[in-house]
Structure 1
């Protein structure tokens, strides 16, 4: 019989200290992001309005331009250029310059915010690793550990997008805000002492199934942020296109975001890319259930809500390919699907009695 390893209290305490330290650094990053947006709001805005105004005079029907060149007395027709008005939800407007809005001072604070976010991520990741070392197992055996790991992975994915050269700095402020809320809840309401696993979780499937669930959730979170911002930006563009005049605050913030079409495309791509892995997560959970409980599916609350989440994102992807359901309607479906994921994450573990009730609270 293999005896469970004793908890290393020194490493467990170090993990707690590192998590609290990361919260302090995330707070500084939050303040730097706020400064980035405040100083960025002083930059010139109106690029979207100018683009939409320039297209306002376009004819509803295609306009054909024909140029005639003379070559040796023979008339030569250039290939006709067809100019059409952009379809609803796909208007060709420029992306905003990012959170800083193009100002030097705003950009400086933005760089400071990213640097602090990198530091906070490193400290938090160290806290997750030391928690794992304190009990020599995967650091997601209860809700506290799941929450600290989940937020660390979300920040890691965001930083990976930045490292790849993607213009996602606009995610920084909502991300850091959410991470602070997540860690605050984890260290107060969900905190659990470092200890060994309950027998049902003591399996190599814990590394496979739960790790993929955490990664999927982190990517789905970024997609949800992009979807929510898309709805605000799309309303802003619609108001400008209809001759409306948005308020100063809305203009200074929304003008600096990517265009609605860009946000919609980003959300779709990350959701579509992670959907197969979420499918694998459910399948892996079913295989683990077969090993642990002798059945692959038992309509347990966690199983049901995982499947509901899968159906929600499947409906979103289908809606994106269906005429009349693109744009805002599909975005609402995506947000509902993510709400199902959140309920599966918090609600089922805390409020529902099931075989998956391992919150430790």
Structure 2
């Protein structure tokens, strides 16, 4: 074995130890029971992924992607790590890059929230901006090539970097935390799709362990994921998502439609409304992608109630609302983008007053 290879192997082993040590220092995220309309037999739970060190669900993904890159020999001591990201994945990857002492560059659109850009820079990362969301892939590949670095490519590797059988993944955590609840095996798990990695992990885990739980994926307007699931034999094309972190203009390689039982297309204004509603009923301040999740949760829960079914539904709180104070939290910003959450907020208020999903 030459000295260069030996040195690389030694560094990678220490890097893996540091990432594993970081995980060992971290407690699991909370699973909160959320208030429901009076008299409901359905229980709703929200797993708060915002409590990770980097503040989002993507902390799990970033850890898995770095470990995947290390064991494959793609990330070495002098490797510049490059990622195409709408924000939260880049924040988390910047954190792990700083932990290992390697450079990190995030490729993103100029519309990414200022709060997320500041967090990437806080963890020592650099930002490279493009105008069109469809440009992020090629720009990231070019940067990795020109720096001699590694393009992490979350959109391809998210579904394979996480062990779907268990090994402390998010699915195993959900079922463990529900074990003492009235309905320990949920009727539904509801998640959004950014890469498709989380839905792939959950769907595979449910099937591997032979649970009767069904997986529902919620998707913003214009995203390509919903039509890709609805008509899998027809090439799907979408547009830029207005809900940061989820929805894509193309079906990503990590999106596995066959493990998804149901999809719900959610109006963008409804995503904002549901996030606001969560704060008013539960005191949890979440970002808009959590609102997308909840809009789907409330529809499915109301349907279960109407059918007289008891059970539980679980979803995710993806990241905190304070990351979007200057965007989704600002009424003028919303108005400038044609987003009016008031009608959807009225729907949720009626749901909680009557216990029934309002007729269209």
TM normalised by structure 1 equals 0.27
**More strand per residue:** 2
Which structure shows the higher helix fraction?
1
Structure with higher Rg: it is 1
